[in-house]
Amino acid sequence: MYLCKVVIKWNKSNEFSLEMDKRKLEIKYTVFKSSEDLSDEDKTLINRAKKISKLAYSPYSEFGVGSAVLLDNGEIFTANNQENAAYPQGLCAERIALFYAMAQYPNQKIKSIAICVNPQNIDFTSFIFPCGGCRQVMSEYEDRGKEKMRILLGNISDEVLLIDGIENLLPFPFSWGNMQ
């Protein structure tokens, strides 16, 4: 992704010139070919997300998503997506798990979140990425805890993508600083 700043300058002859400041944005992540290559802590988190994804209420999309959140005190909270016929009244697995974890332990920091997909009757082998709303919530909790959150994405082929910090999924978040 490139960022570009454009400056237009007009001279006395009513001619203009453009000056640009192009910047490149780099996104960092690690791909593991198997969850077996993960640490025991990460493997547990991925397995908990996979397990809960099978219990998702997703009769409309047939796209179950599970999430497991690890707090810095060692507590793990799991959740899955919950759909509703009156879209968009359903809620994503990530936000349910994050909100529940923070409701129970508001002073703890979020260490990691694992997100896995369980597609039913759908040929889907890719990774599932959090939606924009979930990314924004992750950003808020990361800011609040003042530490990067590790994001683990698992697919049905048992590959895992590890992303260190929400800025690698949401490079330009809206935060408290934007409101001051």
Active site residues: 94
Q: What are phi and psi of 147, to 5 degrees?
A: -145, 150
Name the amino acid, one letter, at 44.
Answer: T
Greatest alpha-carbon pair distance for the chain in Å reads 69
Count CA atoms within 13 Å of residue 129 on its CB side.
Answer: 11
CA–CA dist 19, 63 (Å, integer): 47
Burial 64-86, CB ≥16 within 10 A → b, else e: bbbbbbbbeeeebbbbbbebeee
